[in-house]
């Protein structure tokens, strides 16, 4: 058995669509490039895959370096192979999307704080490379995913109220959802559990607090849009 001959291989990068939800806004994390191509333009954060690294490790490295974040939910999105996608040469990108709670993240801790910013997903600047296409696919995937799997919890605090979860869904799906029917479906799925406590401090009735049921591995629900 021979090892691989030293063929020329395309560069292999991992690009990340990092979603954050805060103040009823769904945002995505962008990086301001300091070098050509797309100097001073905005792009998705990413990095080249190191030789013995797995995609997830590359993602974690980027998230750690640029945001000081650990333990982030992520999922492989798609691999992009358009030959002209990088003007520097042939480069393949494996895209991942990540869901983070910006409140728990200190961008300031990263080494590139000045170059990183959250953008509301409806007000994105023009993106370099093919990153707009990657972003679009990520939004589509996220929208599809939350309708049948509880990924939304990744964007919220450990404990959250039903109205918070409801607003998150309305924001991501960009629609209105009857709150009473929403509550019933989510609770029926058993993916969330009441903590038995209420959020104090509101000027009105104190809403019940819930938490994600991590025990539950297999179940399903369906939020229709």
- Asked if 34 is part of the footprint of DNA (rule: CB under 7 A), the reply reads no
Q: Which of 205, 214, 215, 217 binds DNA (CB under 7 A)?
A: 205
CB of 113 to a second copy, least distance (A): 25
What part of residues 31-60 is at the interface with a second copy (CB under 8 A)? 35-37, 48-49, 51-52, 54-55
Residues 81-110 that bind a second copy (CB under 8 A): 81-83, 87-92, 94
Give the per-residue SS3 of 70-113.
CCCEEEEEEEECCCCCCCCCCEEEEEEEEEECHHHCCHHHCCCH
- Residue 207: name its binding partner from a second copy, DNA, none (Cβ under 5 to 8 Å by kind): DNA
User: What would the x/- binding string for DNA be over residues 169 to 198, using CB under 7 A?
Assistant: ---------xxxx-xxx------------x
User: Count residues contacting DNA (CB under 7 A)?
Assistant: 22
The half-sphere exposure of 90 on its side-chain side, counting CA atoms within 13 A, is 3
Minimum distance, C-beta of residue 171 to DNA, in the bound complex (Å): 15
Binding flag, residue 222, DNA (CB under 7 A): yes
The reply to whether 1 sits near a second copy by the rule CB under 8 A is yes
13: which residues sit within 8 A by CB, 6+ positions away? 46, 47, 48, 49, 91, 92, 93, 94
Q: What is the rounded distance in angstroms from the CA atom of residue 155 to the CA atom of residue 31? A: 20
| Residues in binding contact with a second copy, number by CB under 8 A | 32
Can you list the positions of beta strands (E) in the chain? 11-22, 25-32, 42-43, 46-48, 73-80, 91-100, 116-120, 159-161, 192-198, 208-212
Q: How far apart are the first and last CA of the chain?
A: 54
Which residues here bind DNA, judged by CB under 7 A?
A: 161-163, 178-181, 183-185, 198, 200-208, 222, 224
């Amino acid at each position: 058995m021979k090892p691989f001959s030293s063929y020329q291989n395309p560069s292999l990068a991992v690009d990340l669509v990092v979603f954050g939800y805060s103040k009823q806004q769904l945002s995505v994390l962008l990086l301001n490039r300091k070098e050509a191509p797309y100097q001073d333009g905005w792009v998705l954060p990413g990095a080249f895959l190191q030789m013995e690294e797995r995609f997830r490790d590359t993602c974690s490295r980027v998230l750690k370096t640029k945001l000081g974040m650990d333990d982030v939910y992520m999922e492989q999105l798609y691999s992009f192979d358009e030959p002209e996608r990088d003007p520097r040469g042939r480069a393949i990108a494996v895209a991942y999307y990540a869901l983070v709670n910006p409140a728990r993240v200190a961008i300031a801790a990263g080494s590139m704080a000045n170059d990183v910013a959250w953008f509301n997903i409806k007000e994105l600047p023009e993106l370099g490379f093919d990153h707009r296409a990657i972003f679009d696919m990520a939004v589509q995937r996220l929208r599809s995913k939350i309708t049948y799997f509880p990924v939304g919890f990744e964007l919220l605090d450990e404990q959250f109220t039903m109205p918070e979860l409801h607003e998150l869904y309305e924001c991501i799906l960009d629609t209105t959802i009857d709150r009473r029917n929403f509550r019933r479906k989510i609770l029926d799925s058993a993916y969330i559990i009441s903590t038995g406590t209420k959020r104090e401090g509101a000027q009105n009735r104190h809403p019940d607090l819930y938490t994600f049921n991590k025990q539950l591995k297999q179940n399903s629900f369906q939020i229709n849009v």
